[in-house]
Amino acid sequence: MASKPRNERRQFLQKAGLGAALTGIASTLSTPIWAKTIPQELTATLPAGMRQPGSEFSNYGQPSTHEQGVIRWISANSAASGNGVSWTPLHDLQGTITPNGLHYERHHNGVPAIDPAQHQLLIDGLVNQPLSFDIKSLLRYPMQSRTCFIECGGNSNSGWRTNPIQTQAGYAHGLVSNSEWTGIPVKLLLQEAGIKPEAKWVIAEGADGASLNISMPLEKLMDDALLALYQNGERLRPENGYPLRLVLPGWEGILNVKWLRQLRLTDQPLMSRDETAQYTELQTDGKARQFTFLMEAKSLITSPSLGMMLPDNPATYQVTGLAWSGRGKITRVEVSADGGETWLDAELQGPILAKAFTRFNLPWHWQGEYAILQSRATDETGYVQPTRETLLDNRGKHGFFHYNAIVSWEITEEGDINHVYGF
């Protein structure tokens, strides 16, 4: 709506001011028109929030009480409650940034309570000078921000099962979240300690109840890894590694060590439990893939998806979802409504960032026919998200980790939505 011309608005203000001044002194003048013409019944129909003061300020805001169903879904070990995962409700979210309280969790033995004043980071091993840092000092270093996803190597692993799991999108694929991480380039501190030429690997260790230790190539830490202190603008949440964690953009979640206490430079990987017994992928010939650090391109339709329903037809529905790749930018997401027979390009919502969530959208005209909705991502290296059949042909069915196949939602003629394995 166009605003009133300036003159008219000034006149309106002058009149109102005059009116108010006059009512104060001369009660003989008529009361303002709105007070006379709005009857009690009309005011009563205004929303309650308009007829009374609202609640007071809060020191830290919480979601609306009407959104209490938007939660991480916890799946923990019955005998060890701090061992397990909690899933991001991707199907309930929009945009690309995961709220801090909904970032997925994978803890091996709970969330430690760390006093930042007591926490130390030690950089040692093949360095010229072992160095320790306290959090106060780290906060004085130059910082960088990086928006990227972190995905657990075990995300979507129900896909390896013979029968498609009937779980909401986020509760089957939500061991991935996307945040703006702020911290110190790891490279800076490694250089301060002085890297010896023999150094090739780094063993990171966390200060949690699992003292999680794992090796990673020095090359990656010198490239784009961050020592993150902040997540989406605020200091890390305890469950996301407070006060300090590693962020290795595009690489398997397990390497993004939380509650980081040590980086030891070595010439060889340690072969710890979490790089041998776990996070390796057994193939059909009995050999296992090891050091599969990269998270390959993947996409998922978050709406419509299982747990929702299509209320009417013919109608237009907004198909929306997320795509991401550990190797760089998403360049294309295609959507199919017929189980992969024909594909249409979805619109990619900018900004498209490397190794970060990219939101895609496509309006879909549904006439009430049986349909299978799928999305397929392509990244800037030309890698195309595989079908489940291709993935299983390549990897067998016992890989457990790194499942990135196309996800299929079956739409019945009644508008119900089921998870199927596609054609």
Residue 83 within binding range of ligand HEC, rule CB under 6 A: yes
Structure tokens, 95 = 């945009």
Which residues inside 379-408 make contact with other proteins, applying CB under 8 A?
382-387, 390-391, 394-395, 398
Q: Are 279 and 254 in contact (CB under 8 A)?
A: yes
Cα(7)–Cα(240) distance, rounded to whole angstroms? 57
Cα(203)–Cα(222) distance, rounded to whole angstroms? 14
Which residues inside 156-185 make contact with other proteins, applying CB under 8 A?
185
Residue closer to other proteins, measured from CB, 71 or 76: 76
Paired with 262 in beta bridges are 122, 205
Least spacing, CB of residue 76 vs other proteins, in Å: 11
> Considering CB distances under 5 to 8 angstroms, the limit depending on partner class, which of ligand HEC, other proteins, none binds residue 394?
other proteins
Least spacing, CB of residue 391 vs other proteins, in Å: 7
Residue 277 within binding range of ligand HEC, rule CB under 6 A: yes
What separation in angstroms does the CA of 92 have from each of 43, 120, 149, 180, 305? 35, 38, 17, 20, 10
Cα(185)–Cα(157) distance, rounded to whole angstroms? 32
- Cβ count near 186 (within 10 Å): 26
Q: Which stretch binds other proteins (CB under 8 A): 24-32, 148-156, 231-239, 258-266?
A: 258-266
- Cβ count near 189 (within 10 Å): 18
Residue 74 within binding range of ligand HEC, rule CB under 6 A: no
Residue 13 within binding range of ligand HEC, rule CB under 6 A: no
Any idea which residue has 């299982």 for tokens? 306
Residue closer to ligand HEC, measured from CB, 164 or 241: 241
Cα(112)–Cα(208) distance, rounded to whole angstroms? 5
Q: Where does residue 115 rank: exposed (0-12), middle (13-18), buried (19+ CB within 10 A)?
A: exposed
Contacts of 122 (CB under 8 A, 6+ apart): 130, 131, 132, 261, 262, 263, 264
- Look at residues 286, 256, 301 and name the one whose alpha carbon lies nearest to residue 274: 256
Residue 110 within binding range of ligand HEC, rule CB under 6 A: no
Least spacing, CB of residue 108 vs ligand HEC, in Å: 4
> Considering CB distances under 5 to 8 angstroms, the limit depending on partner class, which of other proteins, ligand HEC, none binds residue 66?
none
Residue 338 within binding range of other proteins, rule CB under 8 A: no
Residue closer to ligand HEC, measured from CB, 144 or 272: 272
Residue 280 within binding range of other proteins, rule CB under 8 A: yes
Residue 76 within binding range of other proteins, rule CB under 8 A: no
Cα(151)–Cα(250) distance, rounded to whole angstroms? 8
Cα(174)–Cα(111) distance, rounded to whole angstroms? 19
> Considering CB distances under 5 to 8 angstroms, the limit depending on partner class, which of other proteins, ligand HEC, none binds residue 285?
other proteins
Binding site for other proteins (CB under 8 A): 77-80, 83, 108-109, 120, 122-124, 129-133, 137-138, 140-142, 185, 188-189, 192-193, 203, 205, 209-211, 213, 217, 219, 262, 264, 266, 268, 270-273, 276-277, 280, 282, 284-294, 296, 327, 382-387, 390-391, 394-395, 398
Binding site for ligand HEC (CB under 6 A): 77, 79-80, 83, 108, 210, 273, 277-278
